[in-house]
Structure 1
């Protein structure tokens, strides 16, 4: 009998990738905000009552990092109250919940990859809202599984890779910040990690997932330029110049170092690490084969 899994936020990058990678034996039901509004307990009740899933994967989120500085109440409504609504409803019905969170719960002041039990210290409204979501779901549903990630990109939706390809197609030179360090995460790999968690119902608590390796946004942009040209997605070489964050001010402060330690995840999820550049190449091939969505 197929395991029924509901995906909240099915129209987003991760939601789309989850639907593309659903394993055999899973009845995957991707629901957008119209079908499942996580800020509306009545909507959640109707959905779960009708579908009776074994798992709910929460890929719905407010992710506008800069805008959240002026819209913190809205970010909290979605990322904290919405997550709490899901956890409460799941607890009432004995449904497992996977909550997606972020590297932005950390300050970025560490020089070493963040362990899952490292003290959170978000710098801005977005990080605060996601941390509040983590705390809310643990309070309502202690057996929840939280999957933190960062720098997510995919052929779906809007993200850094697709923005860089667009700008590189229009220009001969770009400047990109070089003093913010992390690890890119292909949404396909993140989705596969989520499905691996669903297949291991004994797991709970906090896990970290991104691809392997470390880079700055500048390094990432250089790789996009090189791989895009090699793969035929760009028609000309582009010069990428490194600049400090002070030359590109944004409303929200970003962590200077947001590398997550994934050792526990690679072990418990049974998934091998893949270097971020290998994953970037695979995503660009996916984009070339299937186009932007």
Structure 2
């Protein structure tokens, strides 16, 4: 099966390329700038029609949540107009599209894990453009599967896990927000699930699904587990101080609740992500093996480590 995935350097794309390399029946082609640019719809159409994939994975997006508040036109062009161009090209070829979306389509104010048919009420420009992208994709390609996810991390690129380990290598204590909750989601797990969907008979159906790590935590609990795992492996660690969202202001307001129910995905595709703790251990181990193989922590408070 020939799969085209949009983007070249993102966490999910990198994980997909890695996973597909071990599958003899999958030819995965990642496309990105400068030849393929979501802000340039003609380049999108030309590239996809030339490749002639059997399925398209729409993974590339404008994801700079804070910067989007000031770059609304660019965020819209990439996330809405660009995504629609991807879906339309797939429709011309009469092939399905798997489109990645986000928990930011919700307000984040409800106290329970969000279901697929809960009211979408984005509070940020990024969330608004991703919601519009969902609707644009669905309107131009009836064979669509939209996957919403949250709190993505991996051994690659910029993400919370790598940031925490980098800061811990420099500081003894880190303040981390404790009043925002979600499902930490490994891009490695996302890649496995996307490839399952791509080769599953249900890919011919249309609909929205939530796909995220199993289990809930807040950012400070997430950080503590990262450091527990890293310390056990001889990597960087730090003490975590709980802080409030109001103590860490950002240009775009973050959802207080990013938790997603993944029951629908499990019912249809028969797959559920591992516990978020187990997936964090896998990713932290890979990061330490690559980035901190000879890490030697400094003594703290006059004590031996």
TM-score by length of 2: 0.91
What is the Cα deviation at residue 30 of structure 1? 1.2
Kept in 2: contact 1:266–1:273 (CA 8 A): no
What is the Cα deviation at residue 204 of structure 1? 2.3
Kept in 2: contact 1:102–1:148 (CA 8 A): yes
Deviates more, 1:118-127 or 1:47-56: 47-56
What is the Cα deviation at residue 273 of structure 1? 3.3
Name which of 206, 209, 213 aligns with 1:207. Answer: 209
Deviates more, 1:74-83 or 1:29-38: 29-38
CA distance in 2, matches of 1:174, 1:288: 19
1:275 is the counterpart of 2:252: no
What is the Cα deviation at residue 291 of structure 1? 4.4
Instruction: Give secondary structure in 2 for the equivalent of 1:56.
Output: strand
CA distance in 1, matches of 2:93, 2:63: 28
1:52 is the counterpart of 2:52: yes
Partner of 1:164: 164
Kept in 1: contact 2:45–2:86 (CA 8 A): no
Number of aligned residues: 288
What is the Cα deviation at residue 34 of structure 1? 1.8
What is the Cα deviation at residue 254 of structure 1? 0.8
Name which of 226, 229, 240 aligns with 1:227. Answer: 229
Q: What per-residue deviation string (whole Å, max 9, x for no partner) do you get for residues 2-23 of structure 1?
A: x111110121111100111113
Deviates more, 1:269-278 or 1:3-12: 269-278
Partner of 1:241: 241
What is the Cα deviation at residue 38 of structure 1? 2.2
Instruction: Give secondary structure in 2 for the equivalent of 1:284.
Output: helix
Partner of 2:301: none
Kept in 2: contact 1:213–1:276 (CA 8 A): yes
CA distance in 2, matches of 1:12, 1:288: 20
Partner of 2:6: 8
1:176 is the counterpart of 2:163: no
How do 1:280-291 residues align onto structure 2 when only pairs under 5 Å count? Answer: 280-291=280-291
CA distance in 2, matches of 1:172, 1:288: 18
Q: CA 1:290/1:269 → structure 2, altered by over 3 Å: closer, same or farther?
A: farther
Kept in 2: contact 1:155–1:291 (CA 8 A): no
Q: Which runs of 5+ in 2 are unaligned?
A: 293-305
Q: Which runs of 5+ in 1 are unaligned?
A: none
Kept in 2: contact 1:153–1:185 (CA 8 A): yes
CA distance in 1, matches of 2:76, 2:276: 31
Kept in 2: contact 1:10–1:59 (CA 8 A): no
CA distance in 1, matches of 2:205, 2:192: 15
Q: What per-residue deviation string (whole Å, max 9, x for no partner) do you get for residues 82-116 of structure 1?
A: 10111111111212111100000000111111011
TM-score by length of 1: 0.95
Rg: which structure is higher?
Answer: 2
Partner of 1:25: 25
What is the Cα deviation at residue 290 of structure 1? 4.2
What is the Cα deviation at residue 143 of structure 1? 1.9
Instruction: Give secondary structure in 1 for the equivalent of 2:240.
Output: strand
Instruction: Give secondary structure in 1 for the equivalent of 2:97.
Output: strand
CA distance in 2, matches of 1:151, 1:17: 15
Deviates more, 1:141-150 or 1:37-46: 37-46
